[in-house]
Amino acid sequence: MIRVCAFLILVSTAITGTLSAQMNVQSAPLAPALAPSAIPAPMPEASALLVYADDENAVTVTTPDGAVSAGSIGMEIPEGSTVTTGSSSAELQLAPNGSAIKLAPNTTFRIDALLGNPGAVANAFTLLGGKLRMVATKLAHVAEGYVVSTPTAICGVRGTDFARRYDPATNDDWLCVLDGVVDFHSPDGSRAVSVRGGTFVELDQGFVAKPVPAVWVKNNFKDIQFAKATLPR
């Protein structure tokens, strides 16, 4: 009888200890949730900012949905938009990339894709008419981080200072590189030339890079000097 009582006491003690342990586990405080400030913020979508215009009212922006609005300093221009400068020049700053783009008067320029946005493999643009200058931020991880197309030729850029002019009425098309290297080729890739700083190509004379005279640069860069945009180093 004594042995049976002792056995029952041991069993009761074991059960009590198990229940106590389970209660302690259940009542233990949960790990605190990750504070909002510790959660990584999503990467902002890439866009272009209008940072300068001689006359904001002369600049128009057509967004991908077809909406047309006058330019305003500080406006965010989304991927897929077309900028028309009219009688004004304009300056764009890519965000968050930092590259600077100068558009001469009477230029029509489309932003086809921007790195950082879904599906974009390059910062891709189309010069539909007019003249531009770009000082592009160097991108080490992309072979051609920038592409500027016209119907007659495509230039692929990693990071450089260059200008491009295209006249849709005559198909007159030239590229001038002040610094860096630009790969310049026909749309089908059958003709190509590497254009280095201090040289230029006039497509009516073929894909041939020639030293650019200082007087030529002076005459053709007068209307594409930057006034406001911050130039990448």
**The predicted structure's pLDDT at residue 142:** 67
Q: Is residue 9 part of a domain?
A: no
* Positions in the chain whose pLDDT score sits under 70: 1-44, 142-143
Total tally of structural domains belonging to the chain = 1
**Which burial class, exposed, middle or buried, applies to 233 when counting CB atoms under 10 A from its CB (0-12, 13-18, 19+)?**
exposed
**The predicted structure's pLDDT at residue 1:** 42
**The predicted structure's pLDDT at residue 28:** 42
**Which sign, positive or negative, has the C-alpha torsion 93, 97, 100, 104?**
negative
Q: Is residue 21 part of a domain?
A: no
Q: Is residue 126 part of a domain?
A: yes
Q: Is residue 17 part of a domain?
A: no
Helix (H, G, I), strand (E, B) or coil at 158: coil
- What are the DSSP calls for 2-50, one per residue? HHHHHHHHHHHHHHHHHHHHHHHHHHSPPPPPPPGGGSPPPPPPPEEEE
**Minimal CA–CA distance to 196: which of 232, 231, 160, 145?**
160
What span, in angstroms and rounded, lies between the C-alpha atoms of 10 and 172?
100
The parent domain of residue 192 ranges over 47-224
Q: Is residue 178 part of a domain?
A: yes
Residue the block writes with tokens 């990750």: 34
Whether the Cβ atoms of residue 114 and residue 97 lie closer than 8 Å to each other: yes
Whether the Cβ atoms of residue 143 and residue 165 lie closer than 8 Å to each other: no
Residue 79 DSSP one-character state: T
**The predicted structure's pLDDT at residue 144:** 75
Q: Is residue 11 part of a domain?
A: no
- Specify the CATH number for the domain of residue 176: 2.60.120.1440
Helix, strand and coil in the chain, % to nearest 5: 20, 40, 45
